[in-house]
Structure 1
Amino acid sequence: MTRRLAIGIDIGGTKVAGGIVDESGAILERVRFDTPHRSTSPRVVENTIVGAVEELLGRADPADIVAVGIGAAGFVAEDRATVVFAPHLSWRNEPLRHALSQRISLPITVDNDANAAAWAEACFGAARGESHVVVITLGTGIGGALIIDGQVQRGRHGIAGEFGHMQVVPGGVRCECGNRGCWEQYASGNALVREARAMIEAGSPVVADLLTRLGGDPAALTGPFITEAAHDGDPTARELLADIGEWLGIGMANLAAAFDPGLFVIGGGVSAADEMLIGPARDAFRRQLTGRGYRPEASIVRAVLGSDAGLIGAAELARSGR
């Protein structure tokens, strides 16, 4: 009996991860390559994707593979074929699906990586059974996706879900997008590291233990390092995560006012802090929620599929044609 397997490819700023995914969301085979540097041509990135697909096809019966899904870290147009802009790659209005279709003889779906991750959580993860979901991915910045009535909402131009660039502090911290006061400048991995470094540069004694852990080198500070220190009980690291969590909750309250979801799912690397981040986020969410006390309150949970969500979701979107 022919199996309906799909290949999912997750393209980020540092890696291209691929896998063969079955109908239950299980990854049967994996590959991983470094993402070519942003200065390289679109063709070089395309070659990396094709190489990943070809390697995976060589590990399965080709008759079992029904589609290929691409999750791209960037703006994907409403045609779900063109990458309008990818901040960490050289794609600018790149006709990715057409280019790949010349070299891969399978149906190809292209979507934003956050949409793919959200779909994976909806089908196989933390959002199963919930029809109205906001997924927030906390990494270097903030990505997101919206599912309403069980459908991914991509917007008129395909660029919905860029929640990280909601303005939460007019005239606030400058963002890479060119604006000031974007949410991701206050509730992301970059924000976490920036605030810790500011305390170190100010000579605050409360960061002495963190600085000792760093061997006295503030340049070695990273988000995962702070999270690890917090897990080990460092009070300053925990305080920094609580601050990020508070900003996370404020942004989610704004999203609840706009979309009224039943569930928020928090993913991305910063979510490894778990309740040290999500607990303060819930508290701030409840304090800021419009109509609090007189309306149903969305649940807030951590994503369960981790870094695999993007490729699983890309594969499922391609297989299902959603």
Structure 2
Amino acid sequence: MDSDADPPLTVGIDVGGTNIRAAVVDGVGQVLDTAQAPTPHSAEALVLAIERAVRELGSSHRVAAVGLAVAGFLDVDRTTVLFAPHLPWADAPVARDLTDRLGVPVVLEHDANAAALAEYHFGAAAGGHNVVVVALGTGIGGALLQEGRLYRGSFGVAPELGHIQVVPDGRACPCGKRGCWERYCSGTALVDTAIELLATDPALSTLLAREVAVDAGMLTGRRVAGAAQDGDPLAVAVMADFAHWLGVGLALVGDVFDPDLIVVAGGVAGSAPLFLDAAREHYAQLATGAGHRPLARIRSTQLGEAAGLIGAAELARTAVRGP
């Protein structure tokens, strides 16, 4: 058995709505090797894609266990994916199926919970007492840490922040509701907002607008962020709208949980310099009792897009060695 000085290597996999990102991670949260693939649209193909990624990484590293950070609801034992708005799994015994295929322990965790644990142990959430992590990606994931321990609620799905309604009868959401926070504040939302702004002002002529006119399919959240970085007026307006809705949601989060620290994580957080300062201002104005109560510090991720898979790998390591 490995000694404390030589913890086992594990694979962490962030199973997102757009991509599967896998990595071999060591005991201090360092990523040693990576693999990536688009997220398939069928349940069986998704399991096969994950198996291929693990076997690819396992060909060069001795892997003791695998952790999956999943964008969806898990059962209390965190072995079955009950529902995932952006994934093809429903009531799927994913941990059992992959354990049987791979021959090593496989554990599941909500992606935002995995990112929160990684940030707490290795990144921006270190030293926080009551910490909320808001993971901005294809949608929004949320996690709550109280003195380093995850709060899961009675049935293991808390806190589901992305589907708080912020706009009555607003944009339709894959979850079945309308006006969810993630429909206005996510990588997907950046695209939708750009299209809406163009629809309200067809005469708007910017490089990004012309690209969309040629091929709307090329528009992505990353492209919007890149154009905003270059000063494109359409993209700058999109990011301003994004910052507004992030501030609205963070004010709700602050009112409900009263955290001392909020960490903004996920793929979109890589563009935080474009929106986070403005979001902080909106949050400070909209929080109930603003000006008469302490407000949470708001930090950007230190681990970036790797946070979810690093946290999943750490959970897998705990499953092998014990807490």
Change over 3 Å in CA distance of 1:161–1:207 after alignment to 2: farther
Instruction: Give me the whole-angstrom Cα distance separating, in 2, the residues matched to 1:173 and 1:122.
Output: 33
| 8 Å contact kept, 2:16–2:138 | no
Instruction: Give me the whole-angstrom Cα distance separating, in 2, the residues matched to 1:244 and 1:207.
Output: 21
Q: Which residue of 1 aligns with 2:56?
A: 55
Deviation string for 1:3-35 (max 9, x for gaps)? 212221222233332222111100112222333
Instruction: Give me the whole-angstrom Cα distance separating, in 2, the residues matched to 1:188 and 1:103.
Output: 34
Partner of 1:133, secondary structure, is strand
Give the CA deviation at 1:108.
2.5
Q: Which residue of 1 aligns with 2:36?
A: 32
Give TM-score scaled by structure 2 length: 0.89
Identical-pair percentage: 44
Instruction: Give me the whole-angstrom Cα distance separating, in 1, the residues matched to 2:139 and 2:21.
Output: 20
Deviation string for 1:294-321 (max 9, x for gaps)? 2221111211222211211100112234
- RMSD of aligned residue pairs (Cα, Å): 2.2
| 8 Å contact kept, 2:137–2:187 | yes
Q: Does residue 13 of the first structure (1) align with residue 14 of the second (2)? A: no
Change over 3 Å in CA distance of 1:185–1:214 after alignment to 2: closer
| 8 Å contact kept, 1:9–1:17 | yes
Query: What runs of 5+ residues in structure 2 fail to find an aligned partner?
Result: none
Give the CA deviation at 1:215.
6.5
Q: Which residue of 1 aligns with 2:84?
A: 86
* 2:33 alignment partner AA: E
Change over 3 Å in CA distance of 1:149–1:49 after alignment to 2: same
Partner of 2:169, secondary structure, is coil
Change over 3 Å in CA distance of 1:79–1:303 after alignment to 2: same
Give the CA deviation at 1:217.
4.1
Q: Which residue of 2 aligns with 1:247?
A: 245
Q: Which residue of 1 aligns with 2:173?
A: 175
| 8 Å contact kept, 2:10–2:313 | yes
* 2:49 alignment partner AA: T
Change over 3 Å in CA distance of 1:150–1:196 after alignment to 2: same
Q: Which residue of 1 aligns with 2:236?
A: 238
Q: How does 1:250-269 map to 2 (within 5 A)?
A: 250-269=248-267
Instruction: Give me the whole-angstrom Cα distance separating, in 2, the residues matched to 1:31 and 1:218.
Output: 29
* 1:9 alignment partner AA: I
Instruction: Give me the whole-angstrom Cα distance separating, in 2, the residues matched to 1:255 and 1:82.
Output: 28
Instruction: Give me the whole-angstrom Cα distance separating, in 2, the residues matched to 1:185 and 1:268.
Output: 15
* 1:69 alignment partner AA: G
Deviation string for 1:89-143 (max 9, x for gaps)? 3321111122222233333321112211221111111111213211112223222
Give the CA deviation at 1:284.
0.6
| 8 Å contact kept, 1:172–1:180 | yes
Q: How does 1:79-228 map to 2 (within 5 A)?
A: 79-212=77-210, 214=212, 216-228=214-226
Deviation string for 1:40-98 (max 9, x for gaps)? 3x3433233233333333323x4xx4432111222111111111012343321111122
| 8 Å contact kept, 2:18–2:138 | no
| 8 Å contact kept, 2:17–2:138 | no
Give the CA deviation at 1:255.
0.8
Change over 3 Å in CA distance of 1:293–1:196 after alignment to 2: same
| 8 Å contact kept, 2:111–2:308 | yes
Q: Which residue of 2 aligns with 1:275?
A: 273
Give the CA deviation at 1:206.
4.1
Query: What runs of 5+ residues in structure 1 fail to find an aligned partner?
Result: none
Give TM-score scaled by structure 1 length: 0.89
